[in-house]
Structures are given as structure tokens and as C-alpha cells.
Structure 1
């Protein structure tokens, strides 16, 4: 488990104090893929560099697997960092070294014998899907291949924690998805705890179990990804959810201008309810007509989440019975947007 208590970082710039991370507290469980999301300047990059003390904290405590990182001497910290791998937005590869030599670099620093290094490099090349590219130089690789080298290098010393600093921001969408799939595979195979910072909600949606939202150095919201998607509490969180789901209020206001008859409702589907054949069921059960106006369902790592805006026409009594049935007999949430 990773415990972060009251973590702060204050920079002194032009005789002013700039607070990059402000009294941050989090608990991250073993084996989690934990996302930290925020816009530029939110403090997320500083936060992740505090975890392995690439930045020294001003205040607070970081404990990883029972070891207090913030209290370690520099000598002990060098050893502890072998358990904390890190990958970067711009890869940070050694351009004069081949793929194999880049991956072997942390093993050389750790004093691992050559034969053992070769074996470990071969294992990692297979793991990240770079078989046949061992002797290529970074300039000969695509962006996705460079990041795979970065991931393999970060895994060289068998770390227990992998820190990802905007690891997909420099990649195109298709390559991003392939790197995210690789991180999920590594998490499941190795039981590795992954902490991933990003400004893209798509990344959080695709692979994270839990998420913390940062703004102005503070964590303003946190929880399971599915819960945050369903009920974002803070304006900044709602903006991130809109990256994936669109602006629900803007969408439904436009629809209400066009569809003024009957009852217009928004149905919220979560988890297993997203697979229910609800529309066909209520159309059979009640004397109503259902017109689907708009809908979107997206997958998170913990299940599906989606909304469907529908217009229900019929006698008022039948419409009321329909709404009552959905509320009482299904796990779908109903939000009435306009009354008949």
C-alpha cells in the first residue's frame, strides 16, 4: 500500500512562494491502476516526482510498502528507488544506445552481472513486444516503440510500483490505446501498482480503477472511476467527464427545443444495467411510444456507464406507470427533463 499524508511542495520563484502541491493525502492499494488527472498547472507532475523524491517535499509523509520514503537517507533512497520504476512523456532514452542497451542501463547501475542482464533484457523485450528490434537505436523507432523501450527499462529491476508521467501524451490515439493495453497486461501479469498522471479522461476511463482529480495543487475529488463518471461533483471533474460523454446539459437543452410533447427523460445506465433491453421491455409492457433522441454508452475498467435521452408519448397514467416501473424494477436511474 502507498500512503500519502499532508504532502506539500512549495517552490520559491522570484521572491514568491508557489505552492505546486497543497496538503495532499491519498491511499493507493497494492495492484491498483490509480489515475491522477488535472489540467496543466494542477500540480500532478510535481506530485509524481515527489513519490520517488526526484523533488523533495516541503511537508508531508510518503510511505510505500511500509517504508517511509520521505525519511530515508540518500543512500537508502537509492536502493528504494529500484522498487519504483518511472516512464516519461518524452521517453528519456539514451540516443547513443540500442534498445537492449537502454533496457540494460538500470541493471548496469545496480551492478547486475552481464549474463543475468542479457537474460532479463530478453525477457523484457518479449514482454513489451519489441522482439526483432533489440539492436535498433531510438531514432529508428516509432513513438510507441520508444515508449515500450521506456516501459521495459522501468521494469528492469522488478519494481513494485510504476510511475507514469503523461506516458501517452506524445502519442497518437491508436498508439495510446496499444500502450494502455500493455500497461493493463503488465499490471495483471506482474501485480504491479501503477500510478498514472494525465490530462486525458480517455486514459482514466480505459485502464484505471480509481482516480484523483487535481486542481491548484489540491485533490478536489477522488473515488472509483465509475462513481466519478456517474456523479462528478466539482466543475473541473464535470469538464473531464464531458471529454468522453459530451455536455449533457447542452445536449438536452437543444433537444427540448425540438421535442416538446410527451415526457422527455434521461436514463442513466451503470454496470450491468447497460446491458438491459429496457426500451423494448417497457414498449411491450405499457401502452406508450418511445422515441430515442440521443444516447451514449462508454466502457470503464470497472464496467459500462451511459446515458440515453428518450421521449415517451402516451396517456399520462401509462407514462407514470412506465416511470414507476423503471425506478422500482430496474437498476436504471431516471432523470425527468420535461413533463408531459
Structure 2
């Protein structure tokens, strides 16, 4: 487990103290893919660099397994960092070295013998899907290939933890999805704990199990991804979710729907978890003397399951009974938009 308590970082800028990370507390379970999301300036990149002490904390503790990282001497820290891989936004590759030589670099520093080093490099090249490109230089690679090299290099010393600082923000959407699938595959194959720093809620939705939302150096909201997506508590979280789900556009559509469909009952039905895949509407029609007109709908997949929203119109003699039936289901939330 990664346990972070009271973590704080204060920078001095023009003789003024600037608090980049402020009393941050976080716990990440072994083998988890944990997302940290926030806008630019939220402190998330500083936070991830505090974990392996690329930045020295002003206060607080970071504990990984049984090692208190913040208490280690410089020599012990160098050893401990072999258990903490890091992937950077802009790759940070050595441009005069080939793919294989870049991946081998941390092994050279660790004093791994040449034969073992070459064997490990070939394993990692295969793992990240770069077979046949081992002799290429970074300038000959696409952005996605460069990041694969960065990931392989970060895995060279078989770390227990992988820190990803905006690892996909320099990539196009298709390549981003490929890198996310690679990280997910690595997590499953190696049991690696991954902390993923991003400003993109799409990235969180794709592969993370839990998420922390940062604002002004603090964690303002934290929980399972599906819970945070469906019930955001803070305004910054709501903003992130709206960017992904188009909630603002949905509200505009609802106003138009209320004007257009003035008969019966208009409902917004929110499906949580696996219930998004169930045939609840079909069951409703079978049990009650009603017609159901589906006006709008969207289902989204997350690592924690599916969630979605339907806006429906209920018409018929048993529309009130049907509405009550929906409200009694503990797997969904129902909001009455309009009752004629």
C-alpha cells in the first residue's frame, strides 16, 4: 500500500511562499490503478514528484510498503527508487541512444551485468510492443512509440509502483487509447500499482479504479470512479464530468423536450453499475399498461462498471404506477422532469 499523510510542498517565489501541495492525504491499495485529476496549477504534478522525492516535501510522509520514503537517506533513496518507475509527459528519452539502449540505461546505473541486461531489455521490448524497433533512435519514432520506450524504461528494474505524470497528454486520442490499454495490460500481468496523473477525465474513465480530484493543492473529492462520475460533490468535479458527458448540453435538450412532449410523465433515469445493461424498460412495459417513449440516452463504461442516463416519456393508464415501480428499484435513480 502507498500511504501519504499530511504531504505539503511550499515553494519560495519572489520572496513569497507558494503552497503547491497542501496537507494531502491519500491511500492507494496494492495493484490498483489510481487516478489523480485536476486542472493546470492544481498541484498534481508536484504531488507525484513528491512521492519519489524528485521534489522534497516541506512536510508530511510518504510510505510505500514498509519503507517511509520521506525519511530515507540519499543513498537509501537511490535504492528505493528502483521500486518506483516513472513515465513522463514528454518522454525524456536520451536522443543519442537507441530504443534498446534507452531501456537498458537504468539497468546500467543499477550495475546489472550485460547478459542479464540484454535479456531484460528484450523482454521489455516485447512487453510494450516494440519488437523490431530496438535499434531505432527516438527521432525515428512516433509519439506513441516514444512513450512505449518510456514505459519500458520505467519498468526496467521491475518496480512495484509506476508513476505516470500526464503520460498521454502529448498524444492523439487513438494513441492515447493504445497507451492506456498497454498500462492496463501491464497492471494485470505484473500486478503493478499505478498512479496516473492527468487533466483528462477520459483517461480516468478508461482504466482507473479510484480517483482523487485536486484543486489548489488539495484533494477535494475522492472515491470509486463510478461513484465520482455519477454523484460529483464538488464544482470542479462536476465541471470535469460535464466535459465528458455533455451534461450542459443535456440540460438544454431537456428544456426543449419539456416543451415538445407535454403529455404524460417525463423522467430522467440514471442507471448505476451493471444495471445499465439490464432490460429495465422492457420489464416496465411488460408489467404495466403503458407506453414508453425513449427520448434521449447515453451509456458510459468505466472500470467499475457501466452507468448511463435515459430520458423517457411514460404514457398510459398506469404511468403513475410505473413511475413508482422505477423509484423503488435500488439500482437506479429517478427524477421527475415533468408531470402533466
Interval of TM-score (by shorter of Structure 1 and Structure 2)? over 0.9
| Distance in structure 1 (CA, Å) of the matches to 2:49 and 2:333 | 41
Displacement after TM superposition at 1:330 (Å): 6.0
CA distance in 2, matches of 1:250, 1:34: 33
| 1:214 has 2:214 as partner | yes
Q: Distance in 1 between matches of 2:72 and 2:156?
A: 23
Q: Which residue of 1 aligns with 2:94?
A: 94
Tell me the equivalent position of 2:294.
292
> Helix, strand or coil: the match of 1:252?
helix
Equivalent residue, structure 2, for 1:281: 283
The residue number in structure 2 matching 1:139 is 139
8 Å contact kept, 2:274–2:307: no
Rounded to whole Å, the distance in 2 between the matches of 1:224 and 1:285 is: 34
Aligned to 2:328, the other structure's residue is in SS state helix
**C-alpha RMSD over aligned residues:** 1.1
Gaps of 5+ in 2: none
| Alpha-carbon distance between aligned partners in 1 of 2:261 and 2:50, rounded to the nearest angstrom | 53
- Runs of 4 or more consecutive aligned structure 1 residues displaced over 4 Å after TM superposition: none
Deviation at residue 307 of structure 1 after TM alignment: 0.5
TM-score (norm 2): 0.97
Secondary structure of the 1:111 match is coil
| Offset, 1:103 | 0.1
Residue 271 of structure 1 and its aligned partner are, at CA, apart by 1.7
Deviations 1:35-77 (A, max 9, x none): 0000000000000000000001111111011111111111110
Aligned position for 1:47: 47
Give distance in 2, aligned partners of 1:42 and 1:120: 37
d(CA) in 2 for partners of 1:96 and 1:196? 28
1:78-130 Cα shifts (integer Å, max 9, x gaps): 10000000001110000000000000000000010000000000000000000
1:310 maps to 2:312: yes
Structure 2 equivalent of residue 162 of structure 1:
162
Is 1:271 matched with 2:285?
no
What are the within-5 Å matches in structure 2 for residues 58-97 of structure 1? 58-97=58-97
Q: Describe the superposition over 1:180-203 as per-residue Cα deviations: whole angstroms up to 9, x where unpaired.
A: 000000000000000000011110
Superposition deviation, residue 216 in structure 1 = 0.6
Aligned counterparts of 2:171 and 2:18: Cα–Cα separation in 1: 31
Shift of 1:329: 4.7
Residue of structure 2 in register with 1:193 after alignment? 193
Name the CA distance, whole Å, in 2 between partners of 1:262 and 1:186: 51
User: Cα–Cα, structure 1 residues 143 and 295, in superposed 2: closer, same or farther, change >3 Å?
Assistant: same
User: Aligned to 1:290, what secondary structure does the other structure show?
Assistant: strand
d(CA) in 2 for partners of 1:206, 1:292: 27
Name structure 1 gaps, 5 residues minimum. Answer: none
CA contact (8 A) 2:87 2:164 kept: yes
Deviation per CA, 1:204-228, whole angstroms, max 9, x where unpaired?
0010000000001110000000111
User: Displacement, 1:243?
Assistant: 2.1
Measured against aligned partners, the alpha-carbon deviations of 1:227-247 in whole angstroms (never above 9, x if no partner) come to 111100011101111122111
Deviating more after overlay: 287-296 vs 153-162: 287-296
Deviates more, 1:322-331 or 1:285-294: 322-331
Q: Matched residues in 2 for 1:88 and 1:253: separation? A: 44
What is residue 148 of structure 1 aligned with on the other side? 148
Distance between the aligned counterparts of 2:243 and 2:307, measured in 1? 14
Matches within 5 A, 1:110-121: 110-121=110-121
**Aligned equivalents of 2:164, 2:45: Cα separation in 1:** 10
Distance 1:279 1:220 in 2: 36
Aligned residues: 338
Q: Which shows bigger deviation, 95-104 or 233-242?
A: 233-242
